[in-house]
Amino acid sequence: MTVLRAIAAASVAVALSAPASAQKSQDTLRYAINNSFSSLSQYFEATDESSIFTRRVYESLIGYDEYNGKFVPLLAKSWVRVNPTTIEFELRDDVVFHNGNKFDADDAVDTFNLYTDEKTPLRYKSRYDWVEKAEKLGPYKMRITTKQPNAIDMGLIAYRYSMEDTESRKTLTDVEDYGRKTPYGTGYYKVVQMDPTKGVLVERFDAFKGDKNYARAPVKRFYGMNMPDRQTQIAQLITGGVDIIANVIQDQADDLKTKPGIEVSAVPSGSFIYFVLASNGKVNKALADPKVREALHMAIDRDSIIKYIVPGGAVAEKLQAPCFPTTIGCKVNKTPPAFDREKAKKLLVEAGYPNGFDMSYVVHAPIKDVAVAISGDLLKIGVRATVSPDPLQVYRKKQGDGVLEAWSIFFPLGNHPDISSALDIWFSGERAAYFNNDKIILDAMAAGLRETDPVKRDAIYQVALDQNADMHYVLPISSLPSVYAHSKDVKIMPNQLSASERFLGDFGWK
């Protein structure tokens, strides 16, 4: 870490000491981070902003080309499915980690076994505990054996498992420190600073050996600057202290468009906004009644919210299920109730709440304006929702404590565009208690993971999605376009593998 800190100090000095007009010539692109993260690890810090970095600092064995619908080689040269529960991989023999250590089968096997181990605590353990074991077959050959046939095993390998350096990990007493103290990957960018206060600075890795059809590094340095205050971000953008700010709300976008040297770009993304009601009635008894939940869903004017409130609403997509039409396994017969305020009022009367009721409503702070609009619609039918805009850490604490009543978050489903990933958000593990561990949904989720026939799998998951619609648990609001305000010198490019996400390498200079 001494070397890493020394490099970081020199590089940050370069990034901050030069005037704004010189950043392009110094090839350092500065990006404002809304929510700081203390680690670069998709295992322990799986947030939408950290993934901008982790997806290009680290690599997986394989990738998935969403444009052509096929898996492609990354750290693995080739693979063969031996039987429904066994896959063997031939690994590349010319790859090194950012610290110079050579990548081989030991690193891959150890990474899989570590995060599969029940003793390794992970928030989304179901993404990893389907692996029975990983075995070394040779210096650059390995085998993965699953506990049972898994319809999305290749997708999970591509999207969820990034390879880490075993030698570096052995120097740590806590595996969670890998992304803090030794964030060494094999990707096109290497970390030179990881500081929860200052931010993260990465630099092009000249020894990168991967396929440049699937990765690129158009700028030499990319500096994610921790800047949680939006007004500070805007001021820094206008004065040249930062080059890109993300998740810009509509009013701010309209104003920034008028500023000299500033452009606003809205692009479709794989994230979507949702509104959830806790049906267990643990905290709010009223929400245990399906008729009440239907009334609340019916009272929300999604069309107006998309048109006037959702950032980049012109390219936002109104969703009829908590997934995208392009999401693997996203097939439904039943859709959310149509907006009908008067009918919603009648449903509340029938349920015994003619005067409405009070409700707490937690929202991820960046989409506070959407929540305020939703609460305004609910107030018109008598439901008094108190909006609490929270950072993700606070929301997760409340979620774990079981105290949520209603909440809205946006989820980057594009990080693994399969219906199993969407349903895991609400119905996996202890989170299912909010919905009384709905047996229909949980049984469908389990069966869907075992079924490898795509048509049969669609039918299985359709049962779960239709049950969600019937019970009015999760209401999809819309997709959340990525809205960037940026210097006129910056260009934003489509990702080479993902049809909906942006990562390092997708931001460059014109």
**DSSP tag of 210:** S
Tokens of 271: 């994230």
Tokens of 312: 């980049």
Alpha helices in 58-132 (DSSP H): 105-116
Distance CA 276, CA 507 (A): 34
Residues 80, 196: one domain? no
Residues 263, 195: one domain? yes
Residues 84, 146: one domain? yes
Output 106 or 501, whichever has higher pLDDT: 106
Residue 257 lies in a domain: yes
Q: Which among 122, 149, 183 is the end of a domain?
A: 183
Transcribe 128-174 into DSSP letters: TTTEEEEEEEETTEEEEEESS--TTHHHHHHHH-----HHHHTT-SS
pLDDT at 7: 44
Pairing of strands 221-226, 28-33: parallel
pLDDT at 275 over 80: yes
SS3 category, 179? helix
Q: State the DSSP H helix or E strand holding residue 491, giving kind and residue range, or none if neither.
A: strand 490-492
- Residues of the domain holding 493: 1-40+187-268+482-510
How many structural domains is the chain composed of? Answer: 3
**DSSP tag of 126:** G
What is the CATH classification number for the domain harbouring 98? 3.90.76.10
Cβ(105)–Cβ(77) below 8 Å: no
pLDDT at 400 over 50: yes
Residues 348, 469: one domain? yes
pLDDT level of residue 3 (50, 70, 90 thresholds): very low
pLDDT in tens, 88-139: 999 999 999 999 999 999 999 999 999 999 999 998 888 899 999 999 999 9
- For residue 203, give every residue at least 6 positions away whose Cβ sits within 8 Å of its Cβ, in sequence order, or none: 11, 189, 190, 192, 220, 221, 222
Residues 8, 125: one domain? no
Tokens of 466: 């239709």
Q: Which among 183, 214, 240 is the end of a domain?
A: 183
pLDDT at 179 over 50: yes
Residues 393, 263: one domain? no
Residues 363, 285: one domain? yes
pLDDT level of residue 488 (50, 70, 90 thresholds): very high
Side chain identity, residue 30: R
- For residue 235, give every residue at least 6 positions away whose Cβ sits within 8 Å of its Cβ, in sequence order, or none: 241
Transcribe 241-277 into DSSP letters: S-SEE-S--HHHHHHHTTSTTEEEEEE--SEEEEEEE
Residue 198 lies in a domain: yes
**SS3 of 300-364:** CCHHHHHHHCCCCHHHCCCCCCCCCCCCECCCCCCCCCCCCHHHHHHHHHHCCCCCCEEEEEEEE
Q: Give pTM, 2 decimals.
A: 0.77
Indicate the length of the chain as a whole number. Answer: 510
Cβ(486)–Cβ(244) below 8 Å: yes
Q: State the DSSP H helix or E strand holding residue 396, giving kind and residue range, or none if neither.
A: helix 392-401
Q: State the DSSP H helix or E strand holding residue 395, giving kind and residue range, or none if neither.
A: helix 392-401
Residue 123 lies in a domain: yes
Residues 394, 279: one domain? yes
Residue 205 lies in a domain: yes
Cβ(250)–Cβ(231) below 8 Å: no
**Partners of residue 141 on adjacent β-strands:** 90, 138
Residue 49 lies in a domain: no
Residues 259, 281: one domain? no
Residue 51 lies in a domain: no
Residue 499 lies in a domain: yes
pLDDT at 196 over 70: yes
- Region 11-21: mean pLDDT is 48
Residues 404, 351: one domain? yes
pLDDT at 4: 52
What is the CATH classification number for the domain harbouring 246? 3.40.190.10
Q: Which among 164, 183, 202 is the end of a domain?
A: 183
Q: State the DSSP H helix or E strand holding residue 70, giving kind and residue range, or none if neither.
A: strand 70-73
pLDDT level of residue 453 (50, 70, 90 thresholds): confident
Residues 278, 264: one domain? no
Residue 48 lies in a domain: no
Report the alpha-carbon angle 49-53-55, nearest 5.
105
Residues 356, 490: one domain? no
pLDDT at 213 over 70: yes
What is the CATH classification number for the domain harbouring 453? 3.10.105.10
402: left (phi over 0), alpha (psi -120 to 50) or beta: left
Output 436 or 413, whichever has higher pLDDT: 436
Distance CA 43, CA 120 (A): 10
Side chain identity, residue 238: I
